[in-house]
């Protein structure tokens, strides 16, 4: 069964000719939320039907391009999968059916064909330009999410008895540490747990293990909104960073890291693609038990094409990289991100305690902004009212509550301005 889920307006064409080909499909089989049928009898074949829906529609086979209206899009503050640049989505839409004269969709291409090879090579090359990745680093497009890297890293870098250090500034760092326990001897050298993950320690305070093979950090804790602004120097080993939620949000000196890894679904694409940037000399020493899909050597030797990669996701990442370059690269992107974050944090700080961000100011994330309401009983209403104004996914992570606005690269300034205006109005109403 084909499924299409979209919060956008779908103009469904004459059902007799080109959609709902399965004669058994009736509107009863299309569960819709906030559905508005804007014309007459749904089963009258003569009339076009305009449906606004967050619908799971079956067998919708043909639509003209460009039918979703930008005014129907919400501001999506989700932590990931997250908002993508509208113009990237439109570009993908325009080449979804036939990719650049190839006669087929990217989804239908052989991953070994020249068309897809050009797509993956361009994506890598643009990412290298964006992050200024030195030649002695490999760029891998992998699967399994950042979570799989929690295991792949110790498996590739350590023997089972090797010591490694983890600096735990939030739930993701903690998860990475726990996974590493299966394949190495990790030690938490600092944790912010007792302070509800609102801080990053002064680096001089860190007691790094003498023989640690690496120090693992989560560069931006998505749930808690805590972001490293500078990076610790390791005593002897490598610095490894999970950059899932701030990847490509600002320039990074890649040469300081052994490995940088990130799930794509926050800043650079859809879920299903995980990017790992790995210093080449670290590749090739995986523990013998390492599954083939977790062995960096296999993926490096095969240029991320050992098995079938997430082709469409990689294509989408490529479009996002192109877009970031067109915007002037990561220096410009960081400026935009700072501006958005400033506006939002200022609104919180100037609310006289009505809103509160628990994170220490110097390490507040530019990407994920958690905040609470002084009157916690109003939080559900805040989220509900915001959704009515087309600002969605503002509920905080279930483990911490409150609210969280994720304002990744693709969140336009207008989205943050609208949120701040709403916050002020909400405060005026409830103060
Ligand atoms: N690390 C961070 C910082 C994350 O935000 C997430 C996902 N939200 C993960 C790791 C896990 O990523 P995935 O779901 O891609 O495995």
* Angle (CA) 131 133 136, round 5°: 170
Residue in 99, 126, 172, 185 annotated catalytic: 172
Residue 356: C-alpha distances to residues 22, 29, 194, 360 (Å):
53, 45, 19, 11
3-state SS assignment for residue 246: coil
Q: Which of 81, 180, 222, 223 to mutate to test the pocket of ligand 1 (most atoms within 8 A of CB)?
A: 222
Ligand 1 atom 5: residue of nearest CA: 222
Find all residues with CB under 8 Å of 55, minimum gap 6, and list them.
4, 5, 6, 10, 30, 31, 32, 33, 35
**Assign residue 392 a region: left if phi > 0, alpha if psi is -120 to 50, beta otherwise?**
beta
Q: Which of 80, 146, 178, 268 to mutate to test the pocket of ligand 1 (most atoms within 8 A of CB)?
A: 146
In this prediction, residue 399 carries a pLDDT of 85
- Output the CA 3–ligand 1 centroid distance in Å: 26
pLDDT means per 10 residues in the chain (431 residues)?
38 34 34 35 41 39 49 95 97 97 97 98 98 98 98 98 98 98 98 97 96 98 98 96 98 98 98 98 98 98 98 98 98 98 98 97 98 96 98 93 97 98 98 85
Residue in 52, 213, 266, 340 annotated catalytic: 266
Residue carrying the six token digits 């120097």: 233
In this prediction, residue 50 carries a pLDDT of 43
Q: Please report the atom of ligand 1 found closest to the CA of residue 148.
A: 16
Note whether 72 and 89 are within 8 A (CB).
Answer: no
Q: Please report the atom of ligand 1 found closest to the CA of residue 170.
A: 3
pTM for the model stands at 0.86
- Output the CA 359–ligand 1 centroid distance in Å: 20
Q: Which of 21, 101, 32 has its CA nearest to residue 61?
A: 21
Pair type for strands 238-242 and 214-218: parallel
Separation CA 65–CA 69 (nearest Å)? 11
Helix, strand counts (H, E) of the chain: 10, 18
3-state SS assignment for residue 216: strand
């Amino acid at each position: 069964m084909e499924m299409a889920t979209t919060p956008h307006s779908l103009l469904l064409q004459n059902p007799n000719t080109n959609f709902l080909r399965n004669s058994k499909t009736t509107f009863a089989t299309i569960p819709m939320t906030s559905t508005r049928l804007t014309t007459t009898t749904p089963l009258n074949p003569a009339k076009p039907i305009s449906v606004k829906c967050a619908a799971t529609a079956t067998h919708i086979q043909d639509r003209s391009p460009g039918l979703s209206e930008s005014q129907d899009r919400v501001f999506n503050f989700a932590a990931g999968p997250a908002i993508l640049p509208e113009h990237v989505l439109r570009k993908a839409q325009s080449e979804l059916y036939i990719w650049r004269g190839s006669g087929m969709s990217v989804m239908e291409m052989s991953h070994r064909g020249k068309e897809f090879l050009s797509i993956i090579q361009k994506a890598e090359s643009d990412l290298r330009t964006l992050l200024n990745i030195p030649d002695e680093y490999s760029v891998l497009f992998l699967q399994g999410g950042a979570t799989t890297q929690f295991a792949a890293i110790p498996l590739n870098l350590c023997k089972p008895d090797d010591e490694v250090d983890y600096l735990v500034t939030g739930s993701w760092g903690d998860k990475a540490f726990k996974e590493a326990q299966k394949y190495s001897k990790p030690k938490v050298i600092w944790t912010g747990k007792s302070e509800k993950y609102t801080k990053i320690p002064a680096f001089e305070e860190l007691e790094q293990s003498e023989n640690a093979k690496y120090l693992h950090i989560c560069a931006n804790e998505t749930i808690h909104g805590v972001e490293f602004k500078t990076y610790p120097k390791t005593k002897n080993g490598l610095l490894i960073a999970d950059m899932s939620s701030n990847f490509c949000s600002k320039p990074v000196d890649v040469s300081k890291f052994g490995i940088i890894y990130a799930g794509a679904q926050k800043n650079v694409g859809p879920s299903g693609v995980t990017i790992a940037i790995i210093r080449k000399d670290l590749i090739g020493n995986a523990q013998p038990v390492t599954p083939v899909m977790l062995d960096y050597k296999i993926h490096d030797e095969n240029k991320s094409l050992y098995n079938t990669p997430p082709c469409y996701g990689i294509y989408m990442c490529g479009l996002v990289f192109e877009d970031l370059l067109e915007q002037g690269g990561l220096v410009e992107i960081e400026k935009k991100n700072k501006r958005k974050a400033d506006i939002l944090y200022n609104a919180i700080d100037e609310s006289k305690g009505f809103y509160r961000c628990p994170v220490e100011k110097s390490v507040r994330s530019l990407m994920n902004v958690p905040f609470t309401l002084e009157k916690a009983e109003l939080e559900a209403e805040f989220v509900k009212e915001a959704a009515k104004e087309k600002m969605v996914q503002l509920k905080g992570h279930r483990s911490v509550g409150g609210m969280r606005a994720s304002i990744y690269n693709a969140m336009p300034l207008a989205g943050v301005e609208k949120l701040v205006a709403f916050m002020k109005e909400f405060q005026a109403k409830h103060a």
